[in-house]
Amino acid sequence: MWEINPLAVIGSVLAALTIGFVWYGTLFGKRWQAETGLSDDVLRNAAMGRIFGGFALATAFGAFILGHVLATYGSPGTSISTMIGFGVGLGFVSTSLVGTYLFARKSGTLMLIDGGYWTLTYTVMGLIFGLLR
């Protein structure tokens, strides 16, 4: 079994939360809210502990799997790890959102906002794994 750096997994979760705070707050918050149709009241009254807890667990699992993928390459350097993270984010996660959003009749704008977030997040995850190898 390949060893996966638990600090890289934790760092990846923290990075995902930080990127999300900026991405869905400052950068695209109002546009994302409009595209999802969520009102201020709905957002205010959300069970944020459950939402963030579930997000953190799912993201930790995704980071663990990314670490496993990177480990199959031996010990790739920072640039290769970053490129693989980008490829996973764009090539697997974002393209999966396209099909889901098309069938759910979601907007192209929402696809770009969410796909962009995941592409950036997995790129940074790859960077973190490369730096902490």
Kind plus residue range of the DSSP H or E element containing 21? helix 6-21
Using the 8-state DSSP alphabet, how is residue 25 labeled?
Answer: I
Residue 86 within any structural domain of the chain: yes
Residue-range definition of the domain harbouring residue 11: 6-131
Residue 21 within any structural domain of the chain: yes
Number of domains the chain is built from: 1
Q: Is the pLDDT of residue 1 over 80?
A: no
Kind plus residue range of the DSSP H or E element containing 54? helix 48-71
Residue 1 within any structural domain of the chain: no
Taking only the tens place, the pLDDT of each residue in 36-92 is: 999 999 999 999 999 999 999 999 999 999 999 999 998 899 999 999 999 999 999
Judge whether 130 and 77 are in contact, CB under 8 Å.
yes
